[in-house]
């Protein structure tokens, strides 16, 4: 069980169950607030064997040294961060992934989440991560032909991997929402239900230099679909888009860099994975870079 102090009260978190309780009747003085972001995502490598056209991960070779990752996790754990999410690129290309996740499990109270395309998972990888990873998010952008066209892998191969992952980990599905996938949302939600996924995370496509991102028409269709969805899978959405949906904010006062930060595979701390402003995490550590980034954002 981990306790985090902040402007909304005392946040109690159990990584084994994903259980969260907010004691919001307790007012915590500002000088006692936990200094680390609530959640930090870390791109452990830029390498990926797929080439999705809407990918915004940097394409130069970079990977975080394992010792550095462990040092950052120890610092974030002590600073009240509740969880780290490893992604990339594709995190299963990062050789030290099992050792880094084991470090988090044995030496910190951090929950570890992985975001993966799923195709490199096998029994050996499962065994090396079991007990050290609390949640696996699998990217499923559409189903059948849509999935195969966008991801360049067969849909039956994905189904095999989803079965393997969901048998061994709590699992969620991530779906990039764009003009190709928005009409597949009902089928993706049905797949999530069938695979016993704990969540379906909707990620409206972000603009890149090559693509405009999800249009307002796509967002409207997505909003309509969400309003009409009455299935059992909890839905969540990336918070940074112009949706008209009412979104629950369980910790409304803990926003911006207090709630979330991203470290890319070259070791730059950013407000989000696609933010152009980054501060190198140097010898002084993540919190020092966080203060520098806060100052840069305020300037």
**Is position 90 an interface residue for ligand SF4 (rule: CB under 6 A)?**
yes
Site for ligand SF4 in 258-287 (CB under 6 A): none
Window of 59-67, 84-92, 122-130, 226-234 that interacts with ligand SF4 by CB under 6 A:
84-92
Window of 17-25, 48-56, 194-202, 267-275 that interacts with ligand SF4 by CB under 6 A:
48-56
Nearer to ligand SF4, 58 or 98 (CB): 58
Long-range CB contacts for residues 205-209, cutoff 8 Å, separation at least 24: 205/54, 205/176, 205/177, 205/178, 206/54, 206/56, 206/274, 208/54, 208/55, 208/56, 208/274
Window of 1-9, 50-58, 61-69, 125-133 that interacts with ligand SF4 by CB under 6 A:
50-58
Interface with ligand SF4 (CB under 6 A), residue from 57, 136, 177, 203: 57
> What is the distance between the terminal CA atoms of the chain, rounded to a whole angstrom?
37
Site for ligand SF4 in 120-179 (CB under 6 A): 139
**Is position 235 an interface residue for ligand SF4 (rule: CB under 6 A)?**
no
Contact 142, 188 (CB under 8 A): yes
Q: Which of 260, 224, 211 is nearest to 239 (CA)?
A: 260
d(C-alpha 268, C-alpha 280), whole Å:
4
**Other Cβ atoms within 10 Å of 130 Cβ, number:** 12
**Is position 88 an interface residue for ligand SF4 (rule: CB under 6 A)?**
yes
Q: How far is the CB of 57 from ligand SF4 (least distance, A)?
A: 5
Nearer to ligand SF4, 137 or 258 (CB): 137
Alpha helices in the chain (DSSP H): 66-78, 97-107, 123-129, 144-151, 155-168, 185-194, 216-228, 286-298
**Of all residues in this chain, which one has the CB nearest to ligand SF4 in the complex?**
55
Q: How far is the CB of 193 from ligand SF4 (least distance, A)?
A: 23
**Is position 89 an interface residue for ligand SF4 (rule: CB under 6 A)?**
yes
**Is position 228 an interface residue for ligand SF4 (rule: CB under 6 A)?**
no
**Is position 48 an interface residue for ligand SF4 (rule: CB under 6 A)?**
yes
d(C-alpha 128, C-alpha 150), whole Å:
30
In order of 63, 214, 221, 224, the CA distances from 180 in angstroms are 31, 10, 12, 16
Run of H or E including 76: helix 66-78
Window of 86-94, 125-133, 153-161, 275-283 that interacts with ligand SF4 by CB under 6 A:
86-94
The rounded Cα 288 to chain-centroid distance in angstroms is: 23
Q: How far is the CB of 36 from ligand SF4 (least distance, A)?
A: 26
Q: Catalog residues that contact ligand SF4 under the rule CB under 6 A.
A: 48, 50-52, 55, 57, 88-90, 117, 139
């Amino acid at each position: 069980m981990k306790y985090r102090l902040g402007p909304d009260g005392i946040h109690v978190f159990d990584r084994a169950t994903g259980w969260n309780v907010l004691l919001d009747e307790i007012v915590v003085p500002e000088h006692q607030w936990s200094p680390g972001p609530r959640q930090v995502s870390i791109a452990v490598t830029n390498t990926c064997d797929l080439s999705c056209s809407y990918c915004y991960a940097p394409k130069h070779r970079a990977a975080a040294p394992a010792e550095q990752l462990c040092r950052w996790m120890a610092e974030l754990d002590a600073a009240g961060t509740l969880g780290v999410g490893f992604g990339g690129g594709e995190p299963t290309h990062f050789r030290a992934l099992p050792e880094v996740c084991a470090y988090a499990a044995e030496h910190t109270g951090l929950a570890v989440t992985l975001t993966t395309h799923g195709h490199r998972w096998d029994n050996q990888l499962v065994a090396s991560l079991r007990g050290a990873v609390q949640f696996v998010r699998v990217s499923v952008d559409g189903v059948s032909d849509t999935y195969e066209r966008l991801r360049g892998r067969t849909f039956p191969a994905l189904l095999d991997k989803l079965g393997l992952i969901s048998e061994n980990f709590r699992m969620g599905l991530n779906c990039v929402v764009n003009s190709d996938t928005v009409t597949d949302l009902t089928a993706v939600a049905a797949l999530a239900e069938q695979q016993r996924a704990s969540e379906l995370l909707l990620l409206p496509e972000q603009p890149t230099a090559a693509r405009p991102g999800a249009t307002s028409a796509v967002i409207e269709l997505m909003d309509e679909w969400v309003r009409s969805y009455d299935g059992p899978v909890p839905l969540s959405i990336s918070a940074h888009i112009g949706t008209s949906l009412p979104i629950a904010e369980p910790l409304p006062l803990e926003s911006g860099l207090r709630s979330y930060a991203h470290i890319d595979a070259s070791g730059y701390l950013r407000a989000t994975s696609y933010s152009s402003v980054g501060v190198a995490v140097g010898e002084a550590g993540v919190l020092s870079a966080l203060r520098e980034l806060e100052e840069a954002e305020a300037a």
